[in-house]
Amino acid sequence: MTDHAAALDHLKRGDPVLAAVIGAVGAFQMTYREPTFETLARAIVFQQLNGTAARTIWQRLVDAAGGEPLTPDKLLRLRMPSLRRVGLSQAKATYVRELARHVSTDKLDFTALPGLPDDQVIAALTQVKGVGEWTVHMFLIFALRRPDVLPIGDYGVRAAIKKLYRKRTLPTPRNMEKLARTWRPYCSVASWYLWRSMDTKL
């Protein structure tokens, strides 16, 4: 578990820009989810959608499957036309079914993930079609509560860096890694503040 006081002290001492963001945003209040099939399926649904649209589609999917929790068995009972009717694209409908199949055939064991290091979690989850690096980074941060994840493919984090650090273009993964050297081992906490900075007057 991350020591939030130590994390904030480290980030403020190491990066004056982030120190100003932390001062403006206030207390660290990340909302976590459980490291389950349902959480990863939700992350797939939320890929490349704004929050309101994604939440609507997700709730329709859960309702169509018979309510919470969404399990692999419940999802596999829904055929493709049903998945499309709730608002999923053809690709996302395929991806969530693929994830459910991996769990139901024991190719993927969510109970084992908390005990694995980050790189092994990434390897285990990206074997599922449609689960890419961004989705796994979100799972590591919000479900497994890993303290030092830098989501290099996340638009919100990249846009915040461009704005706060006065970059002319969105940063590349290499730019982000270089900037994040002073944040480690608390990149997840830094990322949360970067997300919040976009809704905060600085």
Does residue 74 fall inside a structural domain? Answer: yes
Residue-wise pLDDT tens digits, 29-85: 999 999 999 999 999 998 877 778 899 999 999 999 999 899 999 999 999 999 999
Give the distance, in angstroms, between the CA of residue 149 and the centroid of all CA atoms in the same chain: 10
Kindly tell me if the per-residue pLDDT of 1 is higher than 70. Answer: no
Whether 57 and 96 share a structural domain: yes
CA distance 193 to 188: 9
What is the predicted pLDDT for the residue at 49?
78
* Mean per-residue pLDDT over the chain, rounded: 94
Residue 66 sits in a domain whose CATH number is 1.10.340.30
Whether 125 and 42 share a structural domain: yes
Whether 25 and 58 share a structural domain: no
Does residue 57 fall inside a structural domain? Answer: yes
Whether 122 and 153 share a structural domain: no
Q: Which long-range contacts (CB under 8 A, 24 or more apart) does 42-51 make?
A: 42/70, 43/135, 43/138, 43/139, 44/92, 44/95, 44/96, 44/99, 44/130, 44/131, 44/135, 45/88, 45/92, 45/96, 47/92, 47/134, 47/135
- 46-60, 105-119, 139-153: least confident range: 46-60
Give the residue numbers spanning the domain of 169. Answer: 4-31+149-197
Domain boundary, last residue among 121, 142, 163: 142
Does residue 126 fall inside a structural domain? Answer: yes
**Do 156 and 192 form a contact (C-beta atoms < 8 A)?**
no
Percent of the chain topping pLDDT 90: 89
What is the predicted pLDDT for the residue at 168?
96
Number of domains making up the chain: 2
What is the predicted pLDDT for the residue at 163?
96
pLDDT-derived band at 92, boundaries 50, 70, 90: very high
What is the predicted pLDDT for the residue at 132?
92
What is the predicted pLDDT for the residue at 199?
83
Whether 133 and 175 share a structural domain: no
Residues in the chain: 202
What is the predicted pLDDT for the residue at 48?
79
- Residue 25: closest CA among 8, 10, 13: 8
Residue 13 sits in a domain whose CATH number is 1.10.1670.40
Whether 70 and 165 share a structural domain: no
Kindly tell me if the per-residue pLDDT of 143 is higher than 90. Answer: yes
Kindly tell me if the per-residue pLDDT of 116 is higher than 90. Answer: yes
